[in-house]
């Protein structure tokens, strides 16, 4: 039998119950059983006056064990455990450090008193897994912290620091940062004789009549498409409406089970694990020694280079940024400062942090200054000859062991690496624009890229708070390669009879932040254009030839006013008609299903090809790319997960109906009822 993760200590008449279940003290079956047994002992033992629950390791309970959700339930269930802690006839104190999240927060609410170190955070992030706090959290939170705080915590899911939780009444006392155990014991001694024992379930909810409706309105946009926020709000509303605790709990249970059985929660839980899995590289051991990264070099101070530099500066890693011309360097540095100042103006950064970040930046015109950098990222014009020239120069000056990275979004890393004498040190680091905001980083593994280079880059990605995914060398890597069939089909659909509005509406209705044509207008219709107004080979060329370059020229697939508000364009409709006439195409009615099949199923098909070619490690990596790089709705779990929920047979049939060659692995998975891997 394996040892219980729960042990107890006696400090005079206080029984301390300690959990040691690394890495995050998830409340798995053994933990729940251990706590139940310890509480029973404490209640039965006449020499115990009060109890303290605390955790060893880096954190208090970070929640229910998510890996158990798909397994048969084991007693005691978390709601039962929380109820039995609360029912204890001796007071129980929760002593909190790290993050008391989800079920962990609910355990603290079952306890009668809560003490936390200043650095602790407390919250109910279940909504991010498509769920709600299902162990009484939705009913105890509003009773302890009020309706507004309960709404914020449950429906948005962001944890709050101990100080804020203290102000809200969620924490009774703040302990010393290094004296939690002693302070919790002292607290237990203070409260051990107080009767009646304060129980959250017995408190009344303070009326706050307009809070729920106001919160719903304020956040409608943010919650668009998601099921879980509404369910969280409904549970809090139930508590706020004067329902008894028992009725509130019954409602919470019903809603929890409904969400748990739904596709959205399955998708969101899939992404939780997919994101963590993505950082693991199959043939690079987790304990690979990393190369030290003390200073980063960035070549190019344009939008991309500047954004890339900011990631490192924010993380406290010094950056040398190189440009060829003094004015470009000055402009780039100025933009970085402006961006930081804007963040500070929104209260998300302190002025001294802005100064510290700027002080860590060394702008220079001297390429040779990169010689002292451990990681050098090239972010210049997307042109192979330019990249080759830069990597030849880098090879001559970079110190031995320095990692040489290119931010290319399409080009062949192996071809770039081949101009150096150290292809093992060359890697792709494809950031997504705006590089200081977007969470995705595609790490492109060349044929010769060394394992420790990959491991180091994955580690650096974590330090700059990116979600990194490894991609192989292929045109457009994972994300942009899958974008291509979507764009091609969207343009063909226009020719055949669809409108930009219709296609964009289908995509936005699906949950994407914008449709293909809204995206084209934002990025620039002229991107990749041959710049010859007399050569009109497709609708995009026709728009570009008329200076309809998108938002920047206030006209693209849509018309834009001064505030960049889009409206449907009569001129675009004419251009499309003219082009159809020229091509001899008679427009037909296009159904939304056809748009889905031709612009989304084709992406899934491309994803399957990428996997077959070994250019992505696993299907879930592709999902992570689309969620964090392109705003694919997380509640649909990424394209590959979504295809499974849509039904692979249906996807294959849709592709075949419109004449696409279907990837072998996709066909096989559809035929056998298996997964795309
Ligand atoms: C819940 O509580 C439901 C209840 O209301 C109702 C029940 C009826 N379970 O993130 P990290 C693993 S729902 C299982 O890299 P960090 C994670 O997969 C839960 N495993 O560390 C990873 O494994 P691996 C509500 C979990 O320091 C390892 O731990 N709670 C769980 O960057 C390290 O994780 C949440 O949603 C879990 N609950 O961040 C909190 N949590 O090493 C979810 C983590 O094999 N967790 N793992 O890849 C987090 O937000 C972060 O993990 C945390 C630490 C902030 C705690």
Asked whether 275 lines ligand 1 (CB < 6 A), one says: no
Which helix (H) or strand (E) is 174 found in, with range? strand 173-174
Catalytic residues: 409, 430, 442, 480
Low-confidence stretches of the chain (pLDDT < 70) are 1
d(C-alpha 655, C-alpha 657), whole Å: 5
d(C-alpha 420, C-alpha 642), whole Å: 41
- What CATH class has 296-478? alpha beta
Domain 499-583 in CATH 1.10.1040.50: yes
The architecture that CATH gives domain 6-260 is: Alpha-Beta Complex (3.90)
* Region of residue 94 (left: phi > 0; alpha: psi -120 to 50; beta: else): beta
Asked whether 133 lines ligand 1 (CB < 6 A), one says: yes
Q: Where in the chain is the domain with CATH 3.90.226.10?
A: 6-260
CA dist 216 → 138, 614, 635 (Å): 16, 45, 19
Asked whether 134 lines ligand 1 (CB < 6 A), one says: yes
Q: Where in the chain is the domain with CATH 1.10.1040.50?
A: 499-583
The owner of tokens 């994803």 is 607
pTM for the whole thing?
Answer: 0.94
What pLDDT does 2 receive?
75
Asked whether 136 lines ligand 1 (CB < 6 A), one says: no
Residue 73 class from Cβ within 10 Å (0-12 exposed, 13-18 middle, 19+ buried)? exposed
What pLDDT does 1 receive?
57
d(C-alpha 58, C-alpha 55), whole Å: 8
- Give distance in angstroms: CA of 132 to centre of ligand 1: 15
CA dist 119 → 100, 115, 164, 176 (Å): 11, 12, 11, 10
- Please report, to the nearest 10 degrees, the dihedral formed by the alpha carbons of residues 396, 412, 491, 536 taken in order: 60
- Give distance in angstroms: CA of 161 to centre of ligand 1: 18
Asked whether 370 lines ligand 1 (CB < 6 A), one says: no
Residue 401's Cα: distance from chain center in Å? 32
Q: Where in the chain is the domain with CATH 3.40.50.720?
A: 296-478
User: Is the Cα torsion angle 383, 386, 390, 392 positive or negative in sign?
Assistant: positive
Pocket test for ligand 1, best of 62, 129, 136, 161 (most atoms within 8 A of CB): 62
What pLDDT does 35 receive?
98
Query: What ipTM is given for this predicted complex?
Result: 0.98
d(C-alpha 295, C-alpha 377), whole Å: 11
CA max distance for the chain: 94
Ligand 1 atom showing the smallest separation from residue 279 Cα = 48
């Amino acid at each position: 039998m394996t040892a219980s993760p729960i042990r107890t200590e006696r400090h005079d008449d206080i029984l301390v119950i300690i959990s040691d279940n690394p890495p995050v003290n998830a409340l798995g079956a053994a933990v729940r059983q251990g706590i139940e047994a310890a509480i029973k002992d404490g209640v039965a033992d006449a020499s115990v006056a009060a109890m303290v629950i605390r955790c060893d390791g880096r954190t208090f309970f970070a929640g229910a064990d998510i890996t158990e959700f798909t397994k048969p339930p084991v007693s005691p269930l978390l709601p039962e455990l929380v109820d039995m802690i609360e029912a204890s006839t001796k007071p129980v104190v929760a002593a909190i450090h790290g993050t008391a999240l989800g079920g962990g927060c609910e355990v603290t609410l079952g306890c009668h008193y809560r003490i936390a170190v200043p650095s602790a955070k407390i919250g109910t992030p279940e909504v991010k897994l498509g769920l709600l706090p299902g162990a009484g959290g939705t009913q105890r939170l509003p009773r302890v912290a009020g309706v507004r705080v309960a709404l914020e915590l449950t429906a948005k899911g962001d944890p709050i620091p101990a100080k804020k939780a203290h102000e809200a009444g969620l924490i009774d006392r703040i302990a010393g940062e290094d004296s939690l155990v002693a302070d919790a014991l002292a607290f237990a001694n203070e409260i051990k004789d107080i009767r009646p024992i304060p129980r959250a379930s017995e408190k009344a909810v303070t009326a706050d009549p307009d809070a729920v409706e106001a919160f719903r309105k304020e956040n409608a946009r943010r919650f668009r498409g998601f099921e879980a926020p509404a369910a969280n709000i409904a549970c809090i509303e139930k508590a706020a409406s004067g329902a008894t605790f028992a009725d509130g709990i019954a409602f919470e249970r019903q809603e929890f089970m409904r969400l748990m059985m739904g596709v959205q929660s399955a998708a969101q839980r899939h992404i939780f694990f997919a994101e963590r899995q993505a950082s693991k590289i199959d043939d690079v051991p987790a304990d690979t020694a990393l190369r030290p990264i003390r200073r980063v070099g960035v070549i190019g101070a344009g939008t991309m280079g500047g954004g890339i530099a900011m990631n490192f500066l924010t993380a406290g890693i010094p950056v040398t940024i190189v440009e060829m011309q003094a004015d470009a360097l000055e402009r780039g540095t100025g933009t970085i400062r402006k961006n930081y100042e804007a963040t500070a103006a929104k209260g998300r950064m302190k002025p001294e942090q802005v100064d510290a970040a700027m002080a860590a930046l060394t702008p220079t015109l001297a390429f040779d200054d990169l010689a002292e950098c451990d990681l050098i990222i090239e972010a210049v014009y997307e042109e192979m000859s330019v990249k080759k020239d830069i990597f030849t120069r880098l090879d001559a000056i970079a110190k031995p062991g320095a990692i040489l990275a290119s931010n290319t979004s399409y080009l062949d890393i192996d071809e770039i690496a081949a101009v150096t004498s150290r292809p093992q040190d060359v890697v792709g680091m494809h950031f997504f624009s705006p590089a200081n905001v977007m969470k995705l980083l595609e790490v492109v593994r060349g044929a010769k890229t060394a394992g420790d280079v990959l491991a180091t880059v994955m580690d650096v990605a974590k330090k700059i708070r990116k979600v990194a995914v490894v991609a192989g060398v292929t045109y457009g890597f994972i994300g942009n390669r899958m974008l291509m069939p979507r764009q091609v089909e969207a343009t063909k659909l226009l020719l055949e009879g669809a409108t930009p509005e219709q296609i964009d509406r289908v995509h936005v209705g699906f949950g994407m932040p914008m449709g293909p044509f809204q995206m084209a207008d934002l990025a620039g219709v002229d991107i990749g254009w041959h710049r010859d107004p007399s050569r009109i080979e497709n609708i995009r060329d026709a728009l570009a030839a008329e200076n309809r370059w998108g938002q920047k020229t206030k006209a693209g697939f849509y018309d834009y006013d001064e505030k960049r508000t889009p409206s449907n364009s009569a001129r675009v409709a004419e251009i499309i008609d003219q082009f159809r006439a020229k091509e001899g195409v008679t427009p037909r009615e296009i159904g939304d299903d056809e748009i889905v099949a031709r612009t989304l199923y084709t992406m899934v098909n491309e994803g399957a090809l990428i996997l077959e070619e070994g250019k992505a490690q696993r299907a879930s990596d592709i999902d992570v790319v689309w969620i964090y790089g392109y705003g694919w709705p997380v509640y649909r779990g990424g394209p590959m997960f979504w295809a499974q929920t849509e039904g692979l047979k249906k996807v294959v049939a849709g592709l075949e109906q419109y004449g696409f060659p279907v990837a072998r692995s996709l066909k096989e998975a559809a035929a056998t009822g298996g997964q795309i891997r």
